[in-house]
């Protein structure tokens, strides 16, 4: 494993005209200024997963679809995740929930932080994702960023986050990097125990 945690910034929408790509770019641009982790962008638009339809549960890791094997490989390569999520109808995008549901072991014992956006800053979508994270054994960090469509986007389209969101994002990344490093030792311990 690398000496510093690898963190993915996950673009959680594939919708035409989505804001998640610009939000994820803002997160990534700020994150790569850090020296305590390496960061990469993972866009769900690049991973056209079908709706979860395989007979065996993800815990079995016996995927039949090559697209899922590729998704597994990508997600398994990271120690933590910043999930950028819109809020649609008081929930995260279905494509994001589906992408989470396809895997299990690849998420387990890693950390996750959330950057939401929407009328209410994506707060309700993030709360639902925190429940999902718990089931997947993802350790969600406390701090989150909630961008308002009214106050953090010019004319509801161009991202212009208020200064306080930069501070929140820095705190989120501090927590995420620390937990990502700590949970790496948990995964290493489990791997040694499984091999014994």
Instruction: State pLDDT tens for residues 36-55.
Output: 999 999 999 999 999 999 99
Instruction: State pLDDT tens for residues 56-75.
Output: 999 999 999 999 999 999 99
Angle in degrees, CA 60, 84, 98, rounded to 5: 30
Instruction: State pLDDT tens for residues 73-83.
Output: 999 999 999 99
Instruction: State pLDDT tens for residues 150-168.
Output: 999 999 899 999 999 999 9
Report pTM. 0.95
Q: Identify the CATH number of the domain defined by range 6-195.
A: 3.40.50.360
SS (H, E, C) the chain: CCCCCEEEEEECCCCCCCCHHHHHHHHHHHHCCCCCCEEEEEEHHHCCCCCCCCCCCHHHCCCCCHHHHHHHHHHHCCCEEEEEEECECCECCHHHHHHHHCCCCCCCCEEEEEEEEECCCCHHHHHHHHHHHHHCCEEECCCCEEEECCCCEECCCEECCCHHHHHHHHHHHHHHHHHHHHHHHHHHHHHHHHHC
> Please, which pLDDT band fits residue 196 given cuts at 50, 70 and 90?
confident
Percent of residues, the chain, with pLDDT higher than 90: 93
Instruction: State pLDDT tens for residues 13-39.
Output: 999 999 999 999 999 999 999 999 999
For the chain, the residue count is 196
- Separation between Cα atoms, residue 14 and residue 29, nearest integer Å: 20
Q: What is the mean pLDDT of residues 159-188?
A: 96
pLDDT of residue 1: 46
Pick from 35-49, 130-144, 152-166, 182-196: least confident: 182-196
């Amino acid at each position: 494993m690398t000496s510093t945690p690898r963190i993915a910034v996950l673009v959680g929408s594939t919708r035409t005209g989505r804001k998640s790509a610009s939000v994820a770019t803002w997160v990534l641009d700020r994150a790569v200024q850090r020296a305590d982790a390496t960061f990469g962008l993972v866009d769900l638009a690049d991973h056209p997963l079908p709706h979860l339809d395989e007979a065996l549960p993800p815990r079995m890791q016996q995927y039949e679809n090559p697209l899922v094997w590729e998704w597994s490989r990508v997600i398994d390569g990271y120690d933590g995740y910043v999930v950028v999520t819109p809020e649609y109808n008081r929930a995260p995008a279905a494509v994001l929930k589906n992408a989470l549901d396809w895997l299990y072991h690849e998420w387990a014992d890693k950390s996750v932080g959330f950057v939401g956006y929407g009328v209410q800053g994506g707060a309700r979508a993030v709360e639902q994702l925190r429940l999902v994270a718990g089931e997947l054994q993802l350790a969600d960090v406390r701090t989150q960023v909630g961008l308002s469509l009214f106050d953090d986007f010019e004319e509801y389209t161009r991202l212009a986050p208020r200064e306080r969101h930069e501070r929140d994002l820095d705190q989120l990344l501090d927590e995420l990097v620390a937990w990502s490093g700590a949970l790496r030792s948990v995964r290493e311990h489990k791997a040694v125990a499984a091999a014994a």
